Structure 1
């Protein structure tokens, strides 16, 4: 078992219930990602977890190191494969979309994971990621309290500038950034708007293309 999968094996239910307890934050994140994922994604979700994002976004295949998370994703009709982002168990150029949501902070080697995403995408395919920006208000709160959280204790939070540099190094082309969550998730009483760019919202979505 990969070290960073242990909290998810032990706290699968706690992870899944968070989305029910914070419905407006969840819907805001989904709305942001819906602006980036194509209507017919033909894709794979790397770090699929329980399938909370893959299913509504139309992604039918999911990879995750946690057996218990994969069991829950399978219950949501995701075709599951156990594995890690740094060594995806797929041939070159087989997907139109690679989705990574709240995954970039848990991989052991971000550069390797992005290179693998690039490898399994077809030319013209899209890489889409959603994450909490380390430099945002929520990101700073998570960093400061990470030792008290069983999930974030193992996380390495990254900034959007670091993501952008890593995408360039992995060979990705043009980018589009969107943002949402302009307040604390627990205080939300409606779905947040989605704005272009980044720097104000705590949850950031990015779409990058594999040009060749």
Structure 2
């Protein structure tokens, strides 16, 4: 088994949760020295290859795949453009699960949906509809997600008890409700915070 490819696959599947060095050691059945060398090798491979937009970052002692900071403006442009204004069925499904089951981890969302949800969560984070609200006191300390004030304001909710039925969220999208009115979206000060954090390599 190609170790670099194996690590890359694991980091992709782990998504925003990332992997700790201990998890990498256990999953790949390698030594701590081999794990650190493997991470450095793959990171250098990404950083030296101008044809890829990916890199590896370390945040809170967990390693994650992230986009290179060179492309942050392009990602920002996409996130605030009409091209990204419509949420897919999968994104709406993920948003509904977070809204009604919060606080919730990505793994719990995956279990409910039956598929991996990292990509959907990243889209919702960039759009400012969900946010990280802490970490669970379970092995690996996975990130806990919840909805944002922007989500509440846009749906006209005072608190979570006012949430409409899950079907209503889909109906709003089906009726082409301008969930991402560009002027309002640009005023949302939290929308890029997590994305920008992922583009900054935490050297501490």
Would you say same fold, with TM above 0.5?
A: no
Normalization by structure 1: what TM-score?
Answer: 0.22
- Return the structure number with greater strand share: 1
- Return the structure number with greater helix share: 2
Normalization by structure 2: what TM-score?
Answer: 0.23
Bigger-Rg structure (1/2): 2
